[in-house]
């Protein structure tokens, strides 16, 4: 966690990444959109799966129920 940073710095950091975990409250946040624009593999809240209109293998739903299970699932799905 880097605290509050401006969007330009966020984009610079995102451009160096391969994966992202979005917050569980908002599927289409600016962070999510920026991660999509840099073609990251994104783990998102499975609750929003029915609202996801973007069809991509780069989007992976996670349950956000159990942090240990979620961590194991994410670790298993890393390329």
pLDDT 10s digits, 17-52: 999 999 888 888 889 999 999 999 999 998 888 777
Q: How far apart are CA 36 and CA 32, in angstroms?
A: 6
Q: Name the nearest CA neighbour of 40 among 24, 62, 16, 20.
A: 20
Handedness of CA 23, 27, 29, 74 (dihedral sign): positive
Residue 8 reports pLDDT greater than 80: yes
- Residue 60 pLDDT: 92
């Amino acid at each position: 966690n880097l605290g509050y940073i401006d969007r330009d710095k966020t984009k610079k950091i995102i451009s160096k990444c391969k994966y992202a975990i979005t917050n569980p409250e908002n599927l289409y946040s600016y962070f999510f959109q920026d991660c999509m624009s840099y073609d990251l593999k994104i783990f998102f809240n499975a609750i929003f799966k029915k609202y996801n209109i973007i069809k991509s293998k780069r989007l992976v739903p996670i349950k956000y129920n159990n942090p240990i299970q979620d961590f194991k699932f994410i670790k298993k799905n890393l390329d």
